[in-house]
Amino acid sequence: MPYHQIVRMQEALEAKGIFQPAFKLITIPNSHAHSYEYWYDNDGQPDSQTIKEDVIDYLDTYLKP
């Protein structure tokens, strides 16, 4: 999501007592896409995965039984 929305989302989650790593924030430099428009894009992080891979890794780590 766009950076300004990430800040607001993080503040809202923390106000409800939800802190990282219960959620993960990713900002893709120089992009204005949103949500699944990013799905196959590189995440801009040092590990150089796609957003899809980041989401699946996160779900496997925190939600998989």
Q: Give me the pLDDT at residue 3, please.
A: 74
CB atoms within 10 A of CB 56: 13
Amino acid identity at 61: T
- What is the number of domains present in the chain? 1
* Structural domain that includes position 26: 3-62
pTM: 0.63
The pLDDT tens digits for 5-54 are 888 989 999 998 989 888 888 777 777 777 778 889 888 888 889 989 98
Beta bridge partners of 42: 50
